[in-house]
């Protein structure tokens, strides 16, 4: 499969200061990728290069197998949209904002209005169609920016810190919407974030930057896991409690292995991505209340864990060195 983006020896400098240096990176189509790192790590710089809003100082950038030459970035831009941390809405109604990209394409007014209404409904903003766009909340503006991107007919959406300034409910809504964009529309999505739990729950591939350099890539392979637990409702919310014996024999994707793809019995949860429980590694699950789920625990993992999650949203479990003996932080 041809990579969506291929970066080879990419650097970006401002004066004598190099802020980005990527020796080699491939981003595959049809998936959700997370770019993680501290402030100043180079995430936004890399994102702007991927959005063709900035040019690297050196190196080679390929888009869908085609080399991108300096000064010709604009011709690759129509299929890509960059959504900044604070999405900018035009003056006028929300409906006008969604219609605008279609007006640029000379789509007839009646057709574009119908399409704009459908897109707003798809992001649960139909009731705000006539509202002034500049009065939207942070979460509403995020969803509006997605609808506007879809109106433009893009294939790739790049989000810069999309959940940094919204509440937990808006974060959950955003994650559900992004997952739907990938599964139902086949979009390719990249997200910069500080939120490791969200990245683990939403993104199969995580790319870590430190001081402008790529230091690690982590892919969560497909599989399922091997011990039962049950999701129950408590006054604090929905919790998953598991008290199994330790097991170390599971190998994701191995035929005949406990929890290998297809091996989970009906009524048991299936893990979308799984990695060994070890310090600094994350596991993703999709669960529904009252259903049995399956886990793998290494010998070094905690015997008891209680992890909070929102109803019908993924659960991200992150194992840290200081919690292996006493519990797992979610």
Q: What is the pLDDT of residue 190?
A: 94
Fold topology of 5-219: Rossmann fold (3.40.50)
Q: How far apart are CA 161 and CA 144, in angstroms?
A: 16
Residue in 164, 221, 214, 216 with CA at minimum distance from that of residue 191: 164
pLDDT in tens, 180-236: 888 888 889 999 988 777 777 788 788 888 889 988 776 654 433 333 344 444 444
CATH 3.40.50.300 domain locations along the chain:
5-219
Q: How far apart are CA 147 and CA 153, in angstroms?
A: 10
Could you tell me the two tokens for 107? 């789509």
**Cβ neighbours around 249 below 10 Å, total:** 9
Mean pLDDT of the chain: 71
Q: How far apart are CA 222 and CA 28, in angstroms?
A: 16
pTM (two decimals): 0.65
- Residue 11 bridge partners (DSSP): 21, 58
Answer whether residue 59 shows pLDDT above 90.
Answer: yes
CB 128 within 8 A of CB 120: yes
Residues near 156 by Cβ (< 8 Å), separated by ≥ 6?
4, 79, 80, 81, 187, 188, 189, 190
Angstrom distances, CA of residue 191 to CA of 170, 185, 233: 16, 17, 31
Q: How far apart are CA 166 and CA 110, in angstroms?
A: 34
């Amino acid at each position: 499969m041809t990579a969506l983006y291929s970066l080879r020896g990419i650097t970006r400098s401002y004066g004598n200061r190099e802020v980005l240096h990527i020796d080699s990176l491939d981003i595959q189509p049809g998936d959700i990728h997370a770019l993680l790192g501290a402030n100043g790590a180079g995430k936004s710089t890399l994102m702007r290069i991927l959005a063709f809003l900035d040019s690297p100082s050196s190196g080679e950038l390929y888009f869908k197998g085609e080399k991108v030459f300096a000064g010709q970035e604009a011709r690759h831009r129509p299929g890509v949209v960059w959504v900044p941390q604070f999405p900018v809405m035009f003056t006028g109604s929300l409906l006008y904002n969604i219609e605008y990209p279609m007006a640029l394409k000379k789509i007839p007014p009646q057709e574009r209005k119908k399409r704009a209404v459908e897109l707003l409904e798809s992001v649960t903003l139909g009731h705000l169609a006539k509202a002034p766009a500049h009065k939207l909340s942070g979460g509403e503006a995020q969803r509006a920016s997605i609808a506007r991107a879809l109106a433009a007919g893009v294939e790739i959406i790049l989000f810069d810190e999309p959940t940094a300034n919204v509440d937990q409910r808006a974060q959950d809504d955003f994650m559900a919407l992004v997952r739907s964009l990938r599964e139902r529309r086949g979009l390719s999505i990249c997200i910069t974030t500080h939120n490791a739990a969200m990245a683990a729950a939403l993104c199969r591939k995580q790319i870590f930057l430190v001081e402008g350099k790529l230091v690690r890539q982590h892919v969560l392979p497909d599989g399922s896991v091997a011990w039962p637990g049950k999701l129950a409702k408590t006054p604090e919310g929905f919790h998953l409690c598991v008290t199994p014996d330790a097991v170390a024999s599971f190998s994701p994707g191995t035929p005949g292995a406990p929890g290998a793809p297809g091996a989970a019995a009906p009524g048991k949860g299936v893990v979308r991505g799984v990695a060994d429980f070890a310090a600094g590694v994350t596991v993703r699950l999709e669960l529904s209340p009252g259903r049995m789920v399956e886990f793998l625990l290494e010998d070094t993992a905690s015997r008891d864990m209680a992890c909070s999650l929102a109803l019908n949203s993924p659960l991200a479990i992150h194992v840290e060195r200081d919690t292996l003996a006493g519990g797992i932080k979610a």
